[in-house]
Amino acid sequence: MQGSGDTARPRHVAIIMDGNGRWAANRGWPRLVGHRRGAERVKQLVRACPDLGVNWLTIYAFSTENWKRSTEEVLGLMGIFARYIEREADSMAAEGVRMRFIGARERLNRKLARLMDGIELRTAGNTGLNLTVAINYGGRDELNRAARKMAEKIASGEIGPDEQVDLANFLDTVGHPDPDLVIRTSGEARTSNFLPFQTAYSEYEFTETLWPDFTPDHLAAILDKFGLRDRRFGGA
């Protein structure tokens, strides 16, 4: 944990990738074109993170609220996710990236869920960048699921009713460090139900840049600014 005056770069960066649809609409193109371009941008950022000193990258790919979008867009997004995993599996394994997913998987189609399970297993031993992708993720949903898991263990007697328990041990992100920095692209200034428990003391950066235009240079500039922040974690 960083203290006051520490200018180290963030170990864990989380990104709310916003603006794919607007990027495409600005060019008169279908929204899915923007999502495909956004997936290409993810590849660039993943490769850039180790050189920028980032050990953990968590990206918000699809929220529990995104099911409200058109069937065409939702199906298109699921196809993009599946193709990304299939095409990048070899390179991620070779480059030492460990890939994990957070969110409720039950609603995802079987092919995508199998691909997710497969790449998690294949990259489990990697020690390079830790890439976490939030798919069908919502912070409130995660907290509800965590509370149910804890209640079940209390009911079964595995946890005593008076025992002190850390809810973090029941979250999707158990074992992950909390994000030091959360970046949201596209000019929106809200957190959108993303990692509410884990980001209690994260720094936030909101940028006007739409996600498909967000380059490693943009990330590097934000990381440089992070070093100027005074993080006190509630202290004086």
pLDDT tens readout for residues 119-145 = 999 999 999 999 999 999 999 999 999
Active-site residue, from 55, 66, 126, 193: 66
- Which tens digit of pLDDT belongs to each residue from 3-56? 333 457 899 999 999 999 999 999 999 999 999 999 999 999 999 999 999 999
Q: Residue 70, annotated ligand binder?
A: no
Q: Say which CATH number the domain at 36 has.
A: 3.40.1180.10
What residues make up the domain containing 125? Answer: 12-138+179-226
* Euclidean distance between CA atoms 100 and 116, whole angstroms: 8
Query: Which residue among 18, 172, 178, 180 is the active-site one?
Result: 18
Is residue 155 one of the residues assigned to a domain? no
Q: Is residue 2 part of a domain?
A: no
Asked whether the beta carbons of 18 and 185 are under 8 A apart, the reply is yes
If one counts the domains in the chain, the total is 1
In this structure, is residue 3 part of a structural domain?
Answer: no
pLDDT digits over 197-232, tens only? 999 999 999 999 999 999 999 999 999 999 776 665
Q: Is residue 145 part of a domain?
A: no
Q: Is residue 115 part of a domain?
A: yes
In a domain, 95, yes or no: yes
Question: Does 66 qualify as catalytic in the annotation?
Answer: yes
Whether residue 56 is annotated as binding a ligand: the answer is no
Measured from the Cβ of residue 149, the count of other Cβ atoms closer than 10 Å reads 14
165 inside domain: no
Express the helix, strand and coil content of the chain in percent, nearest 5 each. Answer: 45, 15, 40
Residue 236 forms part of a structural domain = no
